[in-house]
Amino acid sequence: MLLSYLVTSRARRRLLGLLWEDETVGSVSELARQAGVSFAAAHAELEAMRAEGLALSERAGAALVYRANPRYRQAGLVRRLLREGAARSAPPRADDAEKVRGWLATVGAPLLVSRPPRDRMPPLEEVLAEGVALSHRDATVARLLPPLIWRHRDKLDQARLSRAATGRNERQALGFFLALTGLLGGDPRLAALSEPLRDHRRTRARPFFARAQGRMARTLAEKRTPALARRWGYLMNMDLDSFASALGKHGEAA
């Protein structure tokens, strides 16, 4: 594929796909998470794109957000190469996602997995943080995280959980799931755990799911997003009843 040959940086190809093909608008943290690259790599690539004219940046509250520059002098060429599928953001490796699903199933999530994980199990807090990261790409995992958190709410090491989420750039998402679980289960302790994780600079709701782009997806998300998710800065095509049903069915003590 031509662009893969010309652009050897995986981070650059994925960020180009997000900005130009998926028309994603987001902060460095959000784009890094969706592209599956580190914050440092995303920041360097986005700034290089801005300097070249491929991207525009603007303030949204306290956050700096990036978008494709439709007036870039070679915009037509960029779009044509991306339409050929050469630089489209690659999905996560299936075996990596399956490994995380296996870990989640081992600690009590009702997920179907092809085989039990063969690697050594990480600590519970690491597993939950990996699940939060995967939930942006797997709606079933997202729906089953509150029951899993509820089952283990009395065992969680708050400091370790926070470090695990920070290392994966998932503090905001983890905070949302803790607050959501506390709301559904009626446990204010979880809401208290969530608050230190909130990024109060976020002033605009953005899609929670990595591929929830386009007008139709946004319309559905606008209709179904729970009020709590919106307060945490997320739009998602999954209503509160879906989460409540999962918690009621699978939230019993392990």
The yes-or-no verdict on residue 125 having pLDDT over 90 is yes
**21, 56, 83 — which closes off a domain?**
83
Q: What is the pLDDT of residues 219-240, one digit of tens each?
A: 887 888 999 999 999 999 899 9
Q: What is the pLDDT of residues 88-106, one digit of tens each?
A: 434 444 458 888 999 999 9
Report yes or no: 41 and 32 within 8 Å, Cβ to Cβ.
yes
| Total-model pTM | 0.67
Average pLDDT on 48-75 reads 88
Alpha-carbon distance 32 to 30, whole Å? 5
Higher pLDDT, 23 or 1: 23
Q: What is the pLDDT of residues 156-187, one digit of tens each?
A: 999 999 999 888 878 999 999 999 999 999 99
- The answer to whether residue 138 sits within a structural domain is yes
Check whether residue 33 and residue 56 sit in a common domain.
Answer: yes
**21, 49, 83 — which closes off a domain?**
83
Give the rounded percent of residues in the chain with a pLDDT score beyond 90. Answer: 45
Check whether residue 171 and residue 209 sit in a common domain.
Answer: yes
Check whether residue 180 and residue 103 sit in a common domain.
Answer: yes
Report yes or no: 208 and 193 within 8 Å, Cβ to Cβ.
no
Give the helix ranges, DSSP H, for the chain.
Answer: 2-6, 10-16, 28-35, 39-52, 75-83, 94-106, 124-135, 139-151, 158-167, 171-185, 188-194, 215-224, 227-231, 240-250
Q: Is 67 helix (H, G, I), strand (E, B) or coil?
A: strand
Average pLDDT on 32-40 reads 81
The yes-or-no verdict on residue 73 having pLDDT over 80 is yes
Gap between the terminal Cα atoms of the chain:
49
Q: What values do phi and psi take at 234, rounded to 5?
A: -125, 150
Check whether residue 79 and residue 103 sit in a common domain.
Answer: no
CATH number at residue 55: 1.10.10.10
Its domain, for residue 55, covers 6-83
